[in-house]
Amino acid sequence: MLLHVFGTLGAALSMSIAWPQVYRSCVRRRTSGLSATACMLGVAMPLGWVTYGLLIGDPFQVVTNVVASSTGLAILMALLLTQPHLRTRKALLTSAGTAAGVLTAIVVIASLAALPQISGPAAAATLGTVLACVSFVSAIPQPLALLRDRTQDLSGLSPLRWRLAAAACASWLLYGLGAGQPAVWASALVGLTSALIVNGVLIARTPRRAKAPSAAAVTWRHEVVTRNLATAGI
């Protein structure tokens, strides 16, 4: 029962994660601070988990990651449209290399699952291992981009998106541990670490707003200044 709760919570949070970023990037057209490599992987990795879910018959993985890949594609398109320099051949080769490798692995392993001597769960175990390993790489670009350039504009990043990401990864971590799926909990652990780093950076770099003085304080200051000027004969 508890395992089902964690799976449902993880699925619900994962499907909600990207919408704040979709609104900020697609509607408000603010993409500053987003990593192109991370956005590319934000499309490729969910497709891998969709395939993984189909191979083991896990509806939580399938439904969740169909939504995640769709929203990830929307964010990627917004990034490429608003930042033309990322559409150059050199930039695309740099940012899409890892994602292309993930997609190639998905196609190869899914093709192997069609062979009679290889069962779906066996192919899923291989694919899960690949995705868990790639998750270590995919978790690096976004926090690394923030840590390397401490002066960049972060207005394109949605803080709510990364808070939801931390909660979703925590839920998948518990689900993976309970379901005995090492690929799921290992990937979730890496994602949780990445999300916590990004959240920490966003909190640390949020400008602190000065507290506005109260009406009583303003009145008191005005009276003091007035009395001083009157005493001075002004």
Whole-number pLDDT of residue 75: 93
Q: What is the pLDDT of residue 161?
A: 84
pLDDT digits (tens, 9 = 90+) for 112-149: 888 888 888 888 888 888 888 887 777 777 888 788 87
Looking at residue 150, its pLDDT comes to 75
Q: Is the pLDDT of residue 222 over 60?
A: no
- Name the least confident of 34-43, 60-69, 138-147, 169-178: 138-147
pLDDT band at 213 (very low <50, low <70, confident <90, very high): low
pLDDT band at 51 (very low <50, low <70, confident <90, very high): very high
- The percent of residues in the chain predicted with pLDDT above 90, rounded, is 13
By residue count, the chain amounts to 234
Give the per-residue pLDDT at 21.
Answer: 87
Instruction: Kindly indicate the confidence band of residue 44, based on its pLDDT and cuts at 50, 70 and 90.
Output: very high
Of 35-49, 171-185, 207-221, give the range with the top mean pLDDT: 35-49
Least confident of 1-10, 14-23, 50-59: 1-10
Mean model confidence pLDDT for the chain: 81
What local confidence, expressed as pLDDT, does residue 234 receive? 44
pLDDT on residue 228 = 53
pTM, two decimals, is 0.68
**What's the whole-number mean pLDDT along residues 168-186?**
85
